[in-house]
C-alpha cells in the first residue's frame, strides 16, 4: 500500500537536492510525496547547521509535528547537517523522534524506515562513508516535468575555513565519478530537463584526489556536448581554486551561462587570513578582472560575513570598498555565527551583536542600490530567457531566468515552459525584471543570436 512522506527542507541547494534524492529513494519504497504534513505517514526535517538561526528552526519544526506522532502515529525523522552533528543527542533530547539520519546515510533511508515500521525501534545512523557510495546516482523513476535540475558532483570539503561547520558535518571532499554524473545528466535531458546546475561546496576542486578523473573544466566540456541540455550552471566556486582554464570555459562553452557565484567573505586581508580562506583581497580582485576580461557580460554574485571575531571598523571599511569596486550583481550577507567545534568559535575579540547588525544593515543598503543599478543596466536590452513556469504574481504571466540568472516575469503562455525565448527588458526592480516576449521571427535575427553568445 502506498504511504505518504512530507519533507521540510532548510538550508542550501545541497540540502534541497538531498531532499529530492530522498524522495526518489522513497518512491521506490512506496512512499509518495505530500505537501501536507497532516497527511503524512513519515515526516522528515532536512536540516542546516551553517548558522545558529536555521539550526534553531529545526527544534521548533519538530515541536509542530509532535501531535501528528501522538494522534496518527506518524514516523518522525531528522536528516542533514544537524542530524550529523547531534546524532544520538537528538534522540535523547526529543522523545518522540524515531530516526536520525546523517549526511552520508541517505541511501539507507528506505531500510531504516522499514526497520522502524517493523520493530518500532528508534535509529541513529551517522557513520561517514569514505568510499562515497552515498553519492551514487539515484535516477528519477518518473518523468520530472521540470525545466531545470540540480546534479551533485561532489560532497564535503577539505578547506576548513575557520568559521565553517561544513567539513565536520559533510565530511571530506569527495568527487563523484564523471561517468555517473554524465549518465545522470543524459537521463535528465531525456526527461525534458533543459538546465542543469552542478553542485558542490567547491566545484573547482572536482576530480582532486581521484586519479585519472576529468578536471572540472573537462567535465563541463563533456556536459556541454549532451543533446537536449541547453544551459549549464555551477555552484559554489572557491576563489583559491578558480583556474584560468576554468575561467576560459566561459568563453568556450556555449551552454555555460554567464554567471558565477564566487564568495569573498571579507575585504580585509587580516580577516581573510584569520578565516583561513587562502587568498588576499588583491588576488580575489584579479580573478574578477580575469573573469570580466574573458567574459564581459558575466554576472558575479557572492557571500560575505560581517562581524567575524576581531573585525574592526577599518576591516569592515575594506569590505565595503571591495563591494563598491566589484559591484556584485547580488550578494548573500550574513552576520558571523559561532559554530561549536570550529576554530573561530574559540577566537577572542567577539564582535557585539548590535555592532554586527549595524554593519549588516549598512552593507545591505549599499548592495541594494548596486543590485538595482545593475538590473537597470539591462532595461531596453534583449535577453535570452528560459521559461520555467507560471509567475507568482499573475496567472497571465510566466517566469524565467536570463543567462545571468536574473528572474524575468512577462506575459506568456504556460505551454512555453522549457522554451528559450527572446525577451526585451522593460523594467528593473531590486529582485526581478519585467519584460515583453518578442516574436519568433526575432529569435533568428542576428541581434538575438549575438545576445545569446555575448
Ligand atoms: N563552500 C562555499 C564557499 O566556500 O564559498 C560556501 C558554503 S557555506 C554553506 C555558504 C555561506 O554561508 C558561506 O559562503 C558563508 O558566507 C556563510 N557561512 C558559513 N559559515 C558561517 C558562519 N559560521 N557564520 C556566518 N555565515 C557563515
Ligand atoms: Fe565551508 Fe570554506 Fe568549505 Fe566553503 S570552502 S564549505 S566556507 S570550509
Is residue 155 classed as helix, strand or coil in its secondary structure? strand
The reply to whether ligand 2 has any atom less than 6 angstroms from the CB of 263 is no
Q: How far is the centre of ligand 1, averaged over its atoms, from the C-alpha of 50 (Å)?
A: 7
31 — phi, psi (to 5°)? Answer: -110, 115
Task: Kindly tell me the burial class for residue 121, based on how many C-beta atoms sit within 10 Å of its own C-beta (0-12, 13-18, 19 or more).
Answer: exposed
Number of helical (H) and strand (E) elements in the chain, helices listed first: 15, 19
Residue 69 confidence (pLDDT): 93
Residue 373 confidence (pLDDT): 97
Q: How far is the centre of ligand 2, averaged over its atoms, from the C-alpha of 396 (Å)?
A: 42
Cα-based distances in Å from 307 to 252, 275, 337: 40, 12, 9
Assigned C-alpha cell, 341: 567545534
Hey, how many other C-beta atoms are within 10 angstroms of the C-beta on 225?
10
Distance CA 44, CA 9 (A): 9
Q: Ligand 1 pocket test: pick from 172, 242, 263, 306 the residue with the most ligand atoms within 8 Å of its Cβ.
A: 263
Q: What is the pTM of this model?
A: 0.93
Q: How far is the centre of ligand 2, averaged over its atoms, from the C-alpha of 175 (Å)?
A: 15
Nearest to 85 by CA among 345, 349, 348: 345
Assigned C-alpha cell, 395: 496567472
Is residue 89 classed as helix, strand or coil in its secondary structure? helix
Ligand with smallest separation from the Cα of 167 = 2
Locus of grid cell 562515497: 132
Q: How far is the centre of ligand 1, averaged over its atoms, from the C-alpha of 305 (Å)?
A: 8
The reply to whether ligand 2 has any atom less than 6 angstroms from the CB of 160 is yes
Give yes or no for a contact between 105 and 152, defined as CB atoms under 8 angstroms apart: no
148-152, strands of its sheet edge to edge: 148-152, 195-199, 231-235
Residue 53 confidence (pLDDT): 81
Assigned C-alpha cell, 67: 501531535
Q: How far is the centre of ligand 1, averaged over its atoms, from the C-alpha of 213 (Å)?
A: 28
Assigned C-alpha cell, 65: 509535528
Distance CA 157, CA 217 (A): 19
Distance CA 452, CA 330 (A): 22
141 — phi, psi (to 5°)? Answer: -95, -25
DSSP state of 256: B
Contacts of 323 (CB under 8 A, 6+ apart): 267, 304, 331, 363, 366, 367, 370
260 — phi, psi (to 5°)? Answer: -135, 135
The reply to whether ligand 2 has any atom less than 6 angstroms from the CB of 164 is yes
Residue 143 confidence (pLDDT): 61
Q: Ligand 2 pocket test: pick from 168, 199, 202 the residue with the most ligand atoms within 8 Å of its Cβ.
A: 202
Is residue 36 classed as helix, strand or coil in its secondary structure? coil
Give yes or no for a contact between 401 and 410, defined as CB atoms under 8 angstroms apart: no
- Concatenating the DSSP letter of every residue in 99-123 gives EEE-TT-GGGHHHHHHHHHHH---E
Residue 451 confidence (pLDDT): 64
Full pLDDT tens readout for the chain, 454 residues: 789 999 999 988 889 999 998 998 998 889 999 999 999 999 999 999 899 887 788 889 999 999 999 999 999 999 999 999 999 999 999 999 999 999 999 989 999 999 999 999 999 999 988 777 777 767 766 666 789 999 999 989 999 999 999 999 999 999 999 999 999 999 999 999 999 999 999 999 999 988 889 999 999 999 999 999 999 999 999 999 999 999 999 999 999 999 999 999 999 999 999 999 999 999 999 999 999 999 999 999 999 999 999 999 999 999 999 999 999 999 999 999 999 999 999 999 999 999 999 999 999 999 999 999 999 999 999 999 999 999 988 888 999 999 999 999 999 999 999 999 999 999 999 999 999 999 877 777 776 766 665 5
If you take atom 7 of ligand 1, which residue's CA is the nearest one?
201
Assigned C-alpha cell, 364: 545591505
Q: How far is CA 384 from the centre of its chain?
A: 23
The reply to whether ligand 2 has any atom less than 6 angstroms from the CB of 161 is yes
Give yes or no for a contact between 230 and 206, defined as CB atoms under 8 angstroms apart: no
Residue 251 confidence (pLDDT): 94
Q: How far is the centre of ligand 1, averaged over its atoms, from the C-alpha of 164 (Å)?
A: 6
The reply to whether ligand 2 has any atom less than 6 angstroms from the CB of 157 is yes
In this structure, the dihedral spanned by the alpha carbons of residues 180, 185, 190 and 194, taken in order and rounded to 10 degrees, is 180
Residue 302: enclosing H or E segment and its boundaries?
Answer: strand 299-306
Assigned C-alpha cell, 90: 537528538
Amino acid at each position: 500500500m502506498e504511504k505518504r512522506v512530507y519533507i521540510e527542507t532548510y538550508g542550501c541547494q545541497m540540502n534541497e537536492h538531498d531532499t529530492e534524492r530522498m524522495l526518489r529513494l522513497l518512491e521506490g519504497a512506496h512512499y509518495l510525496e505530500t505537501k501536507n504534513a497532516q497527511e503524512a505517514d513519515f515526516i522528515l526535517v532536512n536540516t542546516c547547521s551553517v548558522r545558529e538561526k536555521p539550526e534553531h528552526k529545526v527544534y521548533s519544526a519538530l515541536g509542530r509535528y509532535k501531535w501528528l506522532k501522538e494522534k496518527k502515529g506518524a514516523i518522525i525523522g531528522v536528516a542533514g547537517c544537524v542530524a550529523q552533528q547531534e546524532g544520538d543527542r537528538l534522540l535523547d533530547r526529543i522523545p518522540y523522534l524515531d530516526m536520525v539520519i546523517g549526511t552520508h546515510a541517505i541511501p539507507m533511508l528506505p531500510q531504516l524506515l522499514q526497520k522502524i515500521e517493523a520493530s518500532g525501534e528508534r535509529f541513529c545512523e551517522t557513520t561517514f562513508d569514505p568510499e562515497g557510495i552515498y553519492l551514487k546516482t539515484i535516477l528519477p523513476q518518473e518523468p520530472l516535468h521540470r525545466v531545470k535540475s540540480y546534479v551533485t558532483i561532489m560532497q564535503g570539503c577539505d578547506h576548513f575555513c575557520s568559521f565553517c561547520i561544513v567539513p565536520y558535518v559533510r565530511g571530506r571532499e569527495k568527487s563523484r565519478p564523471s561517468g555517473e554524473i554524465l549518465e545522470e545528466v543524459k537521463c535528465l535531458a531525456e526527461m525534458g530537463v533543459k538546465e542543469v546546475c552542478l553542485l558542490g561546496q567547491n566545484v573547482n576542486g572536482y576530480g582532486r584526489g581521484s586519479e585519472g578523473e576529468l578536471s572540472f573544466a573537462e567535465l563541463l566540456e563533456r556536459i556541454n556536448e549532451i543533446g537536449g541540455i541547453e544551459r549549464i550552471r555551477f555552484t559554489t566556486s572557491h576563489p583559491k581554486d578558480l583556474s584560468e582554464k576554468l575561467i576560459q570555459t566561459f568563453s568556450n562553452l556555449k551552454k555555460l551561462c554567464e554567471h558565477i557565484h564566487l564568495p569573498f567573505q571579507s575585504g580585509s586581508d587580516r580577516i581573510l587570513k584569520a578565516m583561513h580562506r587562502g587568498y588576499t583581497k588583491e588576488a580575489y580582485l584579479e580573478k574578477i578582472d580575469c573573469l570580466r576580461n574573458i567574459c564581459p557580460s558575466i554576472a558575479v554574485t557572492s557571500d560575505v560575513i560581517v562581524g567575524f571575531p576581531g573585525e574592526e571598523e577599518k576591516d569592515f571599511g575594506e569590505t565595503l570598498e571591495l563591494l563598491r569596486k566589484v559591484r556584485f550583481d547580488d550578494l548573500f550577507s550574513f552576520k558571523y555565527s559561532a559554530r561549536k567545534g570550529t576554530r573561530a568559535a574559540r577566537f577572542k575579540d567577539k564582535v557585539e551583536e548590535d555592532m554586527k547588525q549595524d554593519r549588516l544593515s549598512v552593507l545591505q543598503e549599499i548592495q541594494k542600490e548596486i543590485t538595482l543599478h545593475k538590473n537597470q543596466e539591462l532595461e531596453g536590452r534583449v535577453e535570452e530567457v528560459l521559461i520555467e513556469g507560471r509567475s507568482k504574481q499573475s496567472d497571465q504571466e510566466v517566469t524565467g531566468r536570463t543567462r545571468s540568472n536574473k528572474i524575468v516575469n512577462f506575459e506568456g503562455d504556460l505551454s512555453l515552459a522549457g522554451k528559450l525565448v527572446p525577451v526585451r527588458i522593460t523594467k528593473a526592480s531590486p529582485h526581478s525584471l519585467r519584460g515583453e516576449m518578442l516574436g519568433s521571427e526575432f529569435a533568428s535575427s542576428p541581434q538575438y543570436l549575438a545576445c545569446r553568445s555575448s
